[in-house]
Amino acid sequence: MSSPMLRKWERAEVERSVAEASHIDPVGLLADETEVRRYLDPPAGTCYPLEYAYHLLGDVRGKIVLDYGCGDGLNTLVLARRGATVKGLDISPDLIGIARQRLAVNDIRGDVELMVGSAHNLPLSDDSVDVVFGIAILHHLDLALSAREVRRVLRSGGRAILQEPVRNSKALKMLRRFIPYRGQDVSPFERPLTDQELADYASGFSSYRSRGFILPTTSVVSILPRLRERFLHSCLRWDAKVLRKFPALNYYAAVRVVELVK
């Protein structure tokens, strides 16, 4: 990607984040301890993608973890609670400001550093990070530049754990165009990825594994408030069973959690 296009891309992300930050209620920065505990030691068989990402994380006590695209600091808080030395990076000064408030309100001190910076040009030394933890960040980025930087900062044997929206099916992509969502907090450059794009991203790593979550019916349930409240958990559990029994249906799953090893 050319430098002018990259600057335009990143400016759009900063502008998007202003709208995102404006929707965050400062009163809600105090952590719900029940919610935090979900991510401290979740089981391998969980039907929730974020819980599974935290399961893959394993024991990070004393390890350096980059919260890649940390946003308002929700995951930074959990990573710190799990004993990691956390480096949280986001391109948005507004969201980093909220992340600082979140950590202060929840009395998170010590081994946490928050940085405003580009995910395409990380302000970190080579071979300096044990784990890169990124939740819904890649689909905002130039994948080739991101993969280069993630590989660069990871130590030998270090891991990247990433959760991303995925659309492989052309039919589902077409359906998505008929029900577009382009609010102020959506940038013009973000897009769902494909399994092929994730595989290409992983090509420079020594190993790659992926698990799919959320089949199309559950995607519909998740965007309808009344149905979500009553049926989402049951739908996610059903999806997990179906995807284990019929792996080919992963093609239609809307979310991937991947683990890459340098």
Residue 145 pLDDT grade (very low, low, confident, very high; cuts 50, 70, 90): very high
Tell me: the pLDDT tens digits for 37-49?
999 999 999 999 9
For residues 7 and 187, the model is more confident at 7
pLDDT at position 22 is 85
Could you give the percent of the chain with pLDDT greater than 70?
92
**Please, which pLDDT band fits residue 173 given cuts at 50, 70 and 90?**
low
Residue 248 has pLDDT above 70, yes or no: yes
182-208 pLDDT per residue, tens: 444 556 667 889 999 999 999 999 999
Rounded Cα gap, residues 131 and 258, in angstroms: 13
What is d(CA 190, CA 207) in angstroms, rounded to the nearest whole number?
26
**Quick check: 67 and 89 in contact, CB under 8 A?**
yes
What local confidence, expressed as pLDDT, does residue 175 receive?
60
What the block records as the tokens of 119 is: 């995910």
18 versus 250: the higher-pLDDT residue is 250
In this predicted structure, what is the pLDDT of residue 40? Answer: 97
Q: How high is the mean pLDDT of the chain?
A: 92
pLDDT one-digit tens code per residue, 99-122: 999 999 999 987 999 999 999 999
Model pLDDT, residue 5: 82
From residue 49, alpha-carbon distances to 7, 96, 135, 153, 165 in Å are: 32, 24, 10, 25, 11
pLDDT at 177: 59
Task: Please tell me the CATH code under which domain 3-167+188-213+255-261 is placed.
Answer: 3.40.50.150
